Structure 1
Amino acid sequence: MSETYDAVLDRIVDGEHATLLLEADGAVVDEYVIDVLEVPEDGRHEGAVFRATVEDATLTDLSYQPDETTDRKKSAQDRLDRLSRPLSDDES
């Protein structure tokens, strides 16, 4: 039986191994370390988002999701921007 997850490339170690965090319902549910050459070339960067298929505990398919990657990066930047703004007198 296969299952599909969102996967985020957390890090690349020594240019050889990629660590993917698999997510379900917004929570990390598993971690896979794979050869970086198994990662689609356009997604070989930290924070890249993929659709991952897992069959019998084996990662069988990984497809890069550039729009989701951009959306998550923008959302994270927006949160950081909001947190870095000083509070106004109305917000304290």
Structure 2
Amino acid sequence: MSDTATAVLDRIVDGTTAVLLLEEEGSVVDEYTLDVERLPDDGRHEGAVFTVTLEDETLREMEYRPDDERDRKASAQDRFDRLSERLPDE
């Protein structure tokens, strides 16, 4: 049985191992490691977003989603900006 999930590149360890965080409905549900060489060239950086297909816990397909990555970064920046605004002095 195969499952499709959203995965975010959390980190690259020693330049050789990529650690992906698998998400379901916006929450991290699992972690998956693979050889960094299996990542698409343009997705070899922290925060890269992918759609992955896993079959019996083996990665079968991976698609880099730069638009989703940009949306996540913009949303995170917006949250940060709102949190960092100064409250009125009253």
- Structure 2 unaligned segments of length 5 or more: list them: none
Superposition deviation, residue 13 in structure 1? 1.0
Superposition deviation, residue 88 in structure 1? 2.0
Superposition deviation, residue 25 in structure 1? 1.0
Match of 1:52 in 2: 52
Name the CA distance, whole Å, in 2 between partners of 1:58 and 1:88: 53
Superposition deviation, residue 87 in structure 1? 1.1
The one-letter amino acid of 2:13's match is V
TM-score by length of 1: 0.93
Alignment length (residue pairs): 90
Q: Helix, strand or coil for the counterpart of 2:62?
A: strand
Query: How much is the aligned-residue C-alpha RMSD, in angstroms?
Result: 1.1
Tell me, yes or no, if structure 1 residue 82 matches structure 2 residue 85. no
TM-score by length of 2: 0.95
Q: Helix, strand or coil for the counterpart of 1:87?
A: coil
Superposition deviation, residue 57 in structure 1? 1.0
Q: Helix, strand or coil for the counterpart of 2:20?
A: strand
Aligned residues: percent identity? Answer: 63
- Structure 1 unaligned segments of length 5 or more: list them: none
- Deviating 4+ runs (over 2 angstroms): none
